[in-house]
Structure 1
Amino acid sequence: MPPLVSRWRRLDPWLILFVGLGILFTLLFIIFPLIKVISLSIYSDGRFTLQPWRDIFALRNWWRPLWNTILLASIVGVTSTLTGFMFAYAMRRMAFPFKGFFRGLALLPIITPPFLLGLAAILLFGRNGLVTAGVFGIRTSAIFGLPGLVLTQTLSEMPIAFLVIGGMLGSLDLTLEEASATMGATPRQSFRRVIWPLMRPGLANSFLLAFISSVADFGNPMVIGGDYSVLSTAIYLRITGLYDQPGAAVLAVTLLVPSLLAFYLQSQWVGKRSYVTVTGKSAGRPHQWNDRLISGVAAAVVILWAVTTVLFYGSIAVGSFANVWGVDFTPTFKHYLYIENVGMDPYINSLILAVVSAPLTAAMGLMMAYIFVRRSFPGRRLLEFGAMLSFAVPGTIIGVGYVLAFNQPPLVLTGTAAIIVISFIFRNMPVGIRSGVAALSQLDKSLEEASAVMGARLPTTLRRVVAPLIAPAIFSGLVFSFVRSITAISAVIFLISARWKLVTPAILAEINQGRFGVAAAYSTIVVVTMITAIMVAEWLSRRMGAELDLQA
């Protein structure tokens, strides 16, 4: 008997089932839709052709969306990383007052739809903006385009950079700075020669995460992009406006290139760097070795960011009660009454599908994490890469791929709730996998071995031994999936139907029709829902003795 077959026969059949399901789901719901998108760009009527590519290249300025996408993502990567670093520096290394309040504000863009910032930018800086027209008497459209996108995406991506860099900054050994000071270095020299070099992996990671998210962003370019065309919106408009699916597939393949390159660098190049500073030796009590200039800049960044965030989200709340924004600010409930009259179905549908998909996402994440950490089998790394691939692929491409893949027999899912739930599960599964891997890596295998010796099968071991010990990680993944399902837009914009409308496309439709008051009312409902959900989740996580982690 071949050694490989013998080895597999000795394995738990449940483990073989889990691996088989992992391979099946990854191929069916991640790889297969991507293959459909790629094949549409090079195949027509069963024959190989490059005509869709020739048609796109024949367009005037065909390269403009690609260049705009990379330029925007690069700028946002730099601005959000630097802002996040200064924010993290103030929270970790300075005696800054009201740190809890500022950290709470940093969570807002993570738990709300990103394009709400685009709506707020219009309310504040548009032609009837509160700041531009109301304060300065200027009617301008300057906020539309690259300036508005950089502003809104920086506000949206900065919290992730803050979480990544803050965690790394908090783990640095303070004795290194003390040793630098003992050798006569000034606080600024210690910052430049000690802190900054050690933070390079975190800075690079933050930049790449912001770059990936900016490339994939669909909502803000649709709301505030104006004439600044990027690939995500160009794909959507080519399908819905020109009904050119092959052309959209060409643009989707083009969008895949920078996304996958950044994902590879983030997961491989940055992930393999080692800058060890925690050695097990006591670091002593924290001591503030801060340069006044750097501390002043960090404090200014925190205050400016907090004021901007309050102003942006405050404008949405006020706008939901204003009669006509920019003209008549008389308080009214007409926007909420309008939502009640047309129906709350999009909001209710979003809640239902998010509640359904969240535990399934957590379960899938746990299953995949377990087979990645606990078992070695042929093709494990390839399966892990495929499972994590949905993090890098922009939602626009996922949405197009799902429409192409599941719009014909044998698996017809378009127009159903199932395709939306599946998209939620596999878009959010990488975070559950990462949380599960981190938690499982801290558990001793002997606990599972003892369970197996006592006759328990793998499902029983997972349910009674593993799951209780990593419950905080599972819970964080569940909450993250719920939040991201409610706030998703880029993929579901292609998957919604007359029966299954969702709240984020409904908000986007109101913005596009110029009903900013209704959009603000919808947005306020979503924000209040998310804040309430996070408060409840935080209370539950404390009862479990853990810390809620919503880092993407």
Structure 2
Amino acid sequence: MSEFAATPATITPAPMTAVATRRALLRSEDWLGLAVVAVLVILVLGPMATVIVQAFIPGLFSGQVKAIGLSGLWEIFERPLWQRSLMNSLFLASLAGVLGGLLGTGLAIVRHSSRMILGPALDIAAWAIIILPSFILAQGWILFASRGGLANQWFGLTFVPDMVFNPWGLAVIMSLKAFPFAYITVSAAMRWDMDDYAHAARLCGASPLRVLATVRLPMLLPAVLSGAVLIFIDVLGDFGLPAALATTYRFPTLTYAIYVAINQSPIRFDLAGVLAFYVTVIMLAAVLVYFAILRNRRFDFLSGRARMRHAQGARFSLIPNGLAFLTLTVAIIIPIGSSVLVSLTDRISAGFAFENLTLANYAYVLNTGGAFVGALRTSMGIAAAAAMGSAILAAAAAYMLTFSDFRLNRLIDVTCTLSLAVPGVVLGIGYIFMWNSPLFDRLGISLYGSQSILVLAGIAGAVPIAIRVLLGAMAQVPASMLSAASLQGAGLTRRIITIALPLIAAALVSATLTAFGSAIFDLAINSILRPPRLDVLPVYVNRAFEQSQFGAATAATLVAGLATILIIVVINILSAAAIRRLVAPANRN
């Protein structure tokens, strides 16, 4: 027998196919990352891409392609209304950015430099103003400052309407709505005390004002610029103020012009796309300018001598508390107080009299089977679905950014950050272009004109805030815990459910409730994307206000606001108790 016959046959394994090889190389975290990217593309990047493409190829997503090129972009300068809208938006956003930045920065410096008794109230009010929809505050100012409002009819302040209803007055109102962005960012930057620099300047003969201008403010420049840019972006993309002003004062802005373009006859999606493109480009330019300024200077002034700042002075000091009280009055007490008073009166013109007080407005909106009850129920259902969806997506994205080296993590981070600067009006236009396109119609996917599209837009709008909340909580979870579980054979799903989620449960609840509260009163998304026969709360309130049913509008706002707060408080208490029970065995051991 030959040598070759005695040798057993060698079995050569079949080569793996390319698909099998790629699957073998992909870990479970990679599959989760790909799922997150796919969802973000559908919810954020896809709609934003359609807005940009529509500006250069008008009619692409409606099946009526016009001339390809830049001709549509120049049309804004040929139409007086659109040109005025652009100028008004730039004026309003720029002036509000300056005024709101100065106000927020000044209040933050005063707040953390003196032991003022109204300091905690100022902190709470800042967050409350950010959460409150701008159209509710704008309606409150209209009820107070219009010629038929409380200031003129009740208090005889005839100068107030002319003082408020002009471009400069509106910029002041918007700065009062947006100044908390600067207040919060500067407050966060003042946690650490480096008074050695200030003491050195004083020893060299510098006055307190010069120390503030040449030492303290330059140290705070990144926070000050951040607050000003956030205010600029918030005001430029605001839809609530122009929507509320439509019945009282003609002041068109870009966001309201977009709304008009898709609600006129014939509908001009091409013009809406061009206007949305300008809003997006201006916002991105503001962010790029901010980054360019920061890159050109160094701001790393902290040293080993830094310590936590402790405010000095008397708690009842007149000037700091007076500034805080004045700010609280004009920023929140006047607009919200005006809404409360109007909701309790029969006629504004009858003045503040006992016989003019009534609860009829509340009885009207709470009437069984009324439109308000249905609108509130619908909005709460949409908000609940959007809140849960955004919490799941944000938790998955935060997990990927914190615990994985997924190659597309940068894309996830940029997308979530970018969507924070995208106004609801622009996002809504993108959703119309995307989900109303002939492509999806041929595929049999019909979300436009359904309630589901409101849920998707609500998720996209809430994800940026939710992920910022969860990233801070994820950062506190030791990666070693997850690594140890993985070495013991625990899969990705089990690691997330048994380790990550219990440790970030409180933050997850907070993110979900925040998204729920903001989605209920989102006027821009609901005005643009709601189906024609679907009643939703923001549109109900705004329509009642446009029809001069001020008592009903304010009563509906207050009832919905109190119901929302009650739901959030109850869920927060129940979830806190559940979390304590969950971690109690570990604490006892």
Q: TM-score, normalised by structure 1?
A: 0.88
Cα distance in 2 between the residues matched to 1:139 and 1:416: 47
Confirm or deny: 8 A CA contact 1:90 1:302 kept in the other structure: no
What's the CA shift for 1:7? Answer: 8.8
Which residue of structure 2 lines up, in the alignment, with residue 338 of structure 1? 364
Deviation (angstroms), 1:425: 0.8
Give the C-alpha shift of residue 199 in structure 1. 0.8
Aligned partner letter, 1:340: L
Give 1:237's aligned amino acid.
V
Corresponding residue of 1:427: 461
Q: Conserved in 1, the CA contact under 8 Å of 2:192 and 2:309? A: no
2:223 aligned with 1:202: yes
CA gap 1:432/1:105 in 2 versus in 1, 3 angstroms: closer
CA contact (8 A) 1:187 1:289 kept: no
- Counterpart of 1:254? 278
Shift of 1:153: 1.6
Instruction: For residue 374 of structure 1, report the CA deviation from its aligned partner.
Output: 2.5
Deviation at 1:82, TM superposition (A): 1.5
1:73 aligns with 2:93: yes
TM-score norm. by structure 2 comes to: 0.83
Alignment partners' CA distance in 2, 1:176 and 1:328: 56
User: In the alignment, does 2:373 pair up with 1:373?
Assistant: no
* Aligned position for 2:41: 27
> Which residue number in structure 1 is paired with residue 122 of structure 2?
102
Partner of 2:171: 150
Aligned residues: 540
1:136 to 152, 156, 175: 156
User: Which residue in the other structure is 2:585 paired with?
Assistant: none
Is contact 2:345-2:357 (8 Å) kept?
A: yes
Q: For the residues of structure 1 that align with 2:324 and 2:574, how far apart are their CA atoms?
A: 29
Answer whether contact 1:128 1:139 (CA < 8 A) is retained. Answer: no
Matched, 1:9 2:24: yes
Aligned to 1:123: 143
1:39 offset after TM fit, Å?
A: 3.4
What is the aligned partner in structure 2 of residue 549 from structure 1? none
User: Aligned in 2, Cα 1:270/1:532: closer, same or farther, shift over 3 Å?
Assistant: farther
CA distance in 2, matches of 1:234, 1:521: 29
The partner residue of 2:239 within 218, 227, 243 is 218
CA offset at residue 431 of structure 1?
1.7
Distance 1:471 1:137, change over 3 A: closer
Name the CA distance, whole Å, in 2 between partners of 1:55 and 1:438.
Answer: 45
Q: Which amino acid aligns with 2:68?
A: T
Shift of the 538–303 alpha-carbon distance from structure 1 to 2, 3 Å rule, reads farther
- Is residue 49 from structure 1 mapped to residue 68 from structure 2 by the alignment? yes
Distance (Å, rounded) in 2 between the aligned partners of 1:98 and 1:3 = 66
Q: Return closer, same or farther for 1:228/1:277 CA change in 2, 3 Å cut-off.
A: same
Indicate if the aligned counterparts of 2:82 and 2:257 stay in contact, CA closer than 8 A.
no
Query: In the alignment, does 2:32 pair up with 1:36?
Result: no
Q: Secondary structure at the match of 1:490?
A: helix
Note the alpha carbon deviations across 1:442-475, whole angstroms, 9 max, x for none: 4332121111011111121112212222333323
Opposite residue 50 of structure 2, the aligned amino acid is K
Deviations 1:465-491 (A, max 9, x none): 122223333233222211211221112
The answer to whether the aligner puts 1:350 opposite 2:384 as a matched pair is no
Question: For residue 40 of structure 2, what is the amino acid of its counterpart?
Answer: T
- Going from structure 1 to structure 2, the CA distance change for 1:265 and 1:468 (only over 3 Å counts) comes to farther
Matched residue of 1:439: which SS?
helix
**Following TM superposition, by how much is the alpha carbon of 1:256 offset from its aligned partner in structure 2, in angstroms?**
1.4
Residues 518-541 of structure 1 deviation map (CA, whole Å, 9 limit, x = unaligned): 111112123323444565577679
Question: Match of 1:288, as an amino acid?
Answer: Q
Among candidates 324, 329, 339, match of residue 302 of structure 1: 324
Instruction: Give the distance between the partners of 2:319 and 2:547, measured in 1 at CA.
Output: 41
1:385-431: CA deviations, max 9, x gaps? 22332212211111111122213523211232211111111111112
Kindly indicate whether residue 426 of structure 2 is the aligned counterpart of residue 397 of structure 1: yes
State the distance in 1 between where 2:159 and 2:202 align: 53
Distance 1:138 1:174, change over 3 A: same
Shift of residue 57, structure 1, vs aligned partner: 3.7
Shift of 1:373: 2.8
Structure 2 unaligned blocks of 5 or more:
1-15, 581-589
Report how far residue 267 of structure 1 moved. Answer: 6.7
Task: Report deviation, 1:101.
Answer: 2.8
Q: Does the Cα contact within 8 Å between 1:86 and 1:298 map onto a contact in 2?
A: no
Paired letter, 1:75: L
Q: Is 1:320 aligned with 2:349?
A: no
Matching residue within 461, 464, 472 for 2:506: 472
| Offset from partner CA, 1:250-296 (integer Å, 9 cap, x none) | 11111111122224455786599763455455627736399xxxx97
CA distance in 2 between counterparts of 1:447 and 1:270 reads: 37
Answer yes or no: is the 8 Å Cα contact 1:112–1:530 preserved in 2.
no
Query: Could you tell me whether the CA contact under 8 Å between 1:177 and 1:289 is conserved in 2?
Result: no
Residues 5 and 92 of structure 1: CA distance in aligned 2, closer, same or farther (over 3 Å): farther
Moved more, 37-46 or 163-172: 37-46
Whichever of the two has the greater Rg, that structure is: 2
Question: Quick one: distance in 1 between partners of 2:120 and 2:447?
Answer: 45
> Unaligned 5+ residue runs, structure 1?
546-552
